[in-house]
Amino acid sequence: MTVPLSILDLAPISSGGTAADALRNTLDLARRAEEFGYRRYWVAEHHFAPGVASSAPAVLIALLAAATSRIRVGSGAVQIGQQTTTAVVEQFGLIDALHPGRIDLGLGRSGQRRSELLSGRPGGQPDGHGSPAGGGGASHTATREAKVVDGLLIPPPFDYSTLGKHPRLIRLAELLQQPGAQAPDFAVQVDEIIAFLRGTYTLPDGSPVQVVPGEGANVELWILGSSGGQSARVAGERGLPFAANYHVSPSHVLEAVTAYREAFRPSDVLAEPYVSVSADVLVAEDEATAAELAKPYGPWVRDIRTGRNAQPYLSPAEADAEPWTDEDARLVADRVDTRFVGAPDAVVERLEVLRRVTGADELVITTITHEHADRVRSYELLAKAWSSR
């Protein structure tokens, strides 16, 4: 059986374009993805990024669900540390009420991780599935050496140790929460969401609490994670599907899927572990065209990792004109080297390695180009090549 492909979209804003252009492109791509046979269409949550329009997943998911008819739509992921569980369940319950059985609620703990970094508490590296779309003062890699595992490149981890010291990041994180707010433990929030959806949540006095809409909603609950830490364990212990992040945190993907499987306990949702793995992909008719379209990616990642946040995505010609140093190349090497760029058959071969090494039950593809037509074409070529392999 062919492992299904899904999509993760940031609603990227191209240079010379607007947020409205990006959102219209996202709606168009979702319709085309449905035609191409992709299983689900997820949107990320990013804030304060001039080059990213996906800041309100629930709103965008409602628009996507209305614009399509079959494909599952959902979040990859909601930053649960920056909202109450009640608000999240109400938002997704409302969408499910009008589009029943098609909605995925993906949860990420980036909000908690950011709070840990800002307060000096341990928490590991930030979750790349959703955040202010920017780093800030981070050094390029930790000391671990790159390795190849059965054909899959596992680069050294990017070093996020200075993130919590960056004044701009501190201020942006403060803007995402009410003054003095403290995010509850991630596991507690996940359990609250499960209880709200099932209608089993009670107050300390034993009286029930109903979240309407939300209670009984037929949403598919996912946990997204970038390491073998709490997200992977929570997903496994509660028998939920888990999405591991290779496209932003490739150095930790094997640790993440291993931790999830080791922690897995069968549930009324899953009898066995179910893992999706993300990959950054760009496909064109030939290698040379793909390489040309891929040129802006390095400068885009550099902006994110130097605290400028994700800027509008450049054209290849604009990328050629950008100043570029060896230090810039080292800063983004783990992301650039693990991107799957090329002609359809070559990319499919590399994705098959990712699937085999991680044991993925599903692959989630994210693609960014300056021209919308090139992005649509990339997904079309990939879908055809993947289904015919």
Tell me: the pLDDT tens digits for 172-225? 888 888 888 888 899 999 999 999 999 999 999 999 999 999 999 999 999 999
- Here the tokens at position 219 are 């949403």
The confidence score (pLDDT) of residue 123 equals 41
Decide: residue 388, CB within 10 A, 0-12 exposed, 13-18 middle, 19+ buried.
Answer: exposed
131: confidence class by pLDDT, cuts 50, 70, 90: very low
Percent of the chain's residues with pLDDT above 90: 81
In angstroms, the CA 224 to CA 4 distance is 18
Q: Which domains does the chain have, with CATH numbers?
A: 5-387 (3.20.20.30)
Q: Which residues contact 21 (CB under 8 A, 6 or more apart)?
A: 13, 14
Strand 362-366 to strand 5-9: parallel, antiparallel, or no bridges (unpaired)?
A: parallel
244 or 161: which leads in pLDDT:
244
> pLDDT digits over 62-105, tens only?
999 999 999 999 999 999 999 999 999 999 999 999 999 999 99
> pLDDT digits over 270-285, tens only?
999 999 999 999 999 9
The confidence score (pLDDT) of residue 349 equals 98
- Here the tokens at position 40 are 């689900």
What value, to the nearest 5°, has the Cα angle with vertex 131 and ends 127 and 132?
Answer: 145
- Determine the average pLDDT of the residues in 246-263: 97
The confidence score (pLDDT) of residue 135 equals 38
- Determine the average pLDDT of the residues in 237-246: 98
The confidence score (pLDDT) of residue 111 equals 58
pLDDT surpasses 60 at 288: yes
The confidence score (pLDDT) of residue 179 equals 84
112: confidence class by pLDDT, cuts 50, 70, 90: low
> pLDDT digits over 289-337, tens only?
999 999 999 999 999 998 888 999 999 999 999 999 999 999 999 999 9
In angstroms, the CA 273 to CA 361 distance is 9
In a 13 Å sphere around the CA of 341, the CA atoms on its Cβ side amount to 20
- Tell me the pTM: 0.92
The residue with tokens 């572990």 is: 273
The confidence score (pLDDT) of residue 183 equals 84
162: confidence class by pLDDT, cuts 50, 70, 90: low
For the chain, what is the mean pLDDT?
Answer: 91
> pLDDT digits over 19-62, tens only?
999 999 999 999 999 999 999 999 999 999 999 999 999 999 99
The confidence score (pLDDT) of residue 2 equals 83
In angstroms, the CA 385 to CA 354 distance is 16
The confidence score (pLDDT) of residue 118 equals 42
